[in-house]
Amino acid sequence: MERKLIKPGIYLQLALLAFLPAVAHAGEKEELFLRTKMIPLAQEFIKRNELPPADFGTNNIKKYRVNFFTDGRAGCLAYVKLETGCLFDIRSDGTNAEVHDFNDGKTITYYDLEGAPKEKVEAVRALVLANKLNKQSAAELAKKFFNLQGHDGANFHEPEIHQCYWVGGQAGEAVTGGTDPGGPLPYYEIRWYRKDVTKEKRESGLSVPEVVIEVSGVTSNLISYHKYGSLPINRDF
């Protein structure tokens, strides 16, 4: 079973966030952007995608960061994270802004249980019993969220769908009679590569224009949404 890879885009996002000003040092401009742009965008994203309501009160915002461009460009990179772990990555070009990335902050879609106690392995294995989806229905659900973000399927290759999984287990334990290679989880990852992404570009290891969505087979909710490869704000091209 192929191990789940972290896309280069995630490393880039984390690297960018590491250089953003901390909330304690946020000024009036950052505070204004949080209140007038970030929170409304996040709230609209929640409503549009039929996610559970979230409290954006001061006590429920764990942290936020805003980095306005200083190279002559208008706009900024920013994010807001709630106490629940829910995270919204915001991008702005000075005129338009969007939730570029989202993660519910609570759903683990990959487990490496190498050497984990038998009880932990059994608990993770049992998660799949609550799954209400299969690959086909998960793909249909993900397409719904894909369309809700304003994407046009005609601009992308046919989506690729993978069921999330866990690996590991303990050798010698009576879990599967030996070394447990892993098993499925009730979560699915669906990936759309933009039409101009060739096989060679995909295999280059570089970030390419694509959209990745994860959905839950337990709640039928959106788990995460990510745009990669410098996909423009509110557009596919």
234, part of any domain:
no
Which residues of the chain carry a pLDDT beneath 50?
1-25, 171-178
CA distance 19 to 102: 19
Residue 1 resides in a domain: no
Q: Is residue 235 part of a domain?
A: no
pLDDT at residue 211 in the model: 98
Q: Are residues 147 and 66 in the same domain?
A: no
pLDDT tens-digit map of 110-161: 999 998 998 999 999 999 999 999 999 999 999 999 999 999 999 999 999 9
pTM comes to 0.86
Which residues make Cβ contacts (< 8 Å) with residue 179, sequence separation at least 6? Answer: 169, 170, 171, 172
List, in sequence order, every residue forming a beta bridge with 61; answer none if it has no partner: 82
Q: How far apart are CA 137 and CA 143, in angstroms?
A: 10
What does the DSSP 8-state code read for residue 176? Answer: T
Let me know whether 125 and 200 are in one domain. yes
Range(s) of the domain holding residue 97: 8-101
Is residue 146 a contact partner of residue 213, using CB atoms and an 8 Å limit?
A: yes
How, if at all, do strands 222-228 and 210-216 pair?
antiparallel
At residue 2's C-alpha, the angle toward residues 201 and 118, to 5°, is 150
Tokens read off for 98 = 């969007």
Q: How far is it, in rounded angstroms, from Cα 69 to Cα 29?
A: 13
Specify the DSSP class assigned to residue 157: P
pLDDT at 142: 98
Task: Examine the domain organization and report whether 21 and 91 are in the same domain.
Answer: yes
- Residue 206: HSE in the Cβ half-sphere, 13 Å Cα cutoff: 10
Q: How many domains would you assign to the chain?
A: 2
Residues 120 and 220 in one domain: yes
Q: Which of 77, 101, 125 is a domain's end point?
A: 101
Q: Quote the pLDDT of residue 19.
A: 41
